[in-house]
Amino acid sequence: MQVSEKGVKFISGHEGNPLTCYLDPVGIPTIGHGFTMRSSTARRELAKLGIKKLVPGKTKLTAKQSDNIFMILLNGNEYAGAVMRGVPKGRAVKQHMFDAMLSAVFNLGGGFMKWRWKTPWATKNDIAASAAYWSRNYNKAAGRRLAGLVRRRKEEAKMFEKGVYTGVKGDGIARKAEKEKPRLPDPTVKEAQEILIKLGIHKFKADGWYGPRTRDSIIAYQEKHPHLVNDGILGKATITQLRREQIATNDTLTKGGGSIVAVGTGAVASGLSWWWVAGAVAITALAVGGYFAWKYRDVIQRKLNARI
């Protein structure tokens, strides 16, 4: 099977199409419709264009190049093939079911077709139960539940079960400033506003309206970031980087702080003197600090730029 026109639109609506390389929430260089060097097909197609490495803020594609690679990826063995190989024996697959599974596989990898969501469908042909499990899971990055992934999993599951291709804007649909406040708040805009408020950049209410004030806040954020295009548009690269900042803060406070506390507790439990305990904690703090400084160097650079 091959992806339908509605399926392409749905997946693209979530993946977006940034033509300048950016970092995904966990730091993987990404470009176009979600291409990374982790995909063998993407590596091959990018190599044909002379691109052997994705460099955030520097590597670029044209819209035509990105669209061509996207269709090759979607309908090729790595993704469409993975979906069909994972279909339970004796189960029929309708177009909407294929498109939904393809979206998940494109985002999560071929392993999705072996995960627990499939069990009810495979054993009892219970599509509703499989969709229900699918809609509640597989929505985290670096251990943190992301609003965009929560929405995507719910929309994919609904498509799989009921054939509904939602009209809700995915994260990949670029948001431009609107003069009139929408009847309903845009969840992606509201999420961006909430993160910008925490960063001290946006001084107004998170109301889900991408109006002039929010556009100014987005530009202020983009101007200080080394990998973003300063266009005032809330596209996939910008919302992804905002989420990365959120993950960076959470990582440093929980994992980093947890490592330091664990070392200190272990040293005390071992009966070492307080001088030894203090030394162990200090050394660990330097090591942990260095690790997180390297891992989130793009976030740190943005913060440094904001102070210059």
Helix/strand/coil for 9 = helix
Question: Which residues make Cβ contacts (< 8 Å) with residue 79, sequence separation at least 6?
Answer: 41, 73, 102, 105, 106, 110
Least trusted range by pLDDT, from 14-18, 74-78, 247-251, 289-293: 289-293
Q: What does the radius of gyration of the chain's CA atoms come to, in whole angstroms?
A: 22
Helix/strand/coil for 23 = strand
**From the candidate CATH numbers 1.10.530.40, 3.30.43.10, 3.90.550.10, 1.10.630.10, the one assigned to the domain spanning 5-162:** 1.10.530.40
Helix/strand/coil for 52 = coil
**Overall pTM surpassing 0.85 (yes/no):** no
pLDDT of 298: 72
Beta carbons of 241 and 228 less than 8 angstroms apart: yes
- ∠ at Cα 60 (28, 167), nearest 5°? 70
Express each pLDDT in 200-225 by its tens digit.
Answer: 999 999 999 999 999 999 999 999 99
What stretch of H or E contains 14?
A: helix 5-15
Q: State the CB neighbour count (10 A cutoff) for residue 238.
A: 25
Helix/strand/coil for 30 = strand
Q: Which of 3, 76, 74, 95 is nearest to 32 (CA)?
A: 74
Cα of first residue to Cα of last residue in the chain, in angstroms, is 54
CA dist list (Å): 118 to 84, 110, 140, 158: 13, 13, 19, 15
Q: Which of 33, 103, 29 is nearest to 66 (CA)?
A: 33
Q: State the CB neighbour count (10 A cutoff) for residue 19.
A: 16
Per the DSSP assignment, residues forming a β-bridge with 30 are 22
Express each pLDDT in 91-136 by its tens digit.
Answer: 999 999 999 999 999 999 999 999 999 999 999 999 999 999 999 9
Position with higher pLDDT, 262 vs 204: 204
- The residue extents of the domains of the chain are 5-162, 187-307
Q: Which residue has the tokens 């200090």?
A: 282
Beta carbons of 14 and 106 less than 8 angstroms apart: no
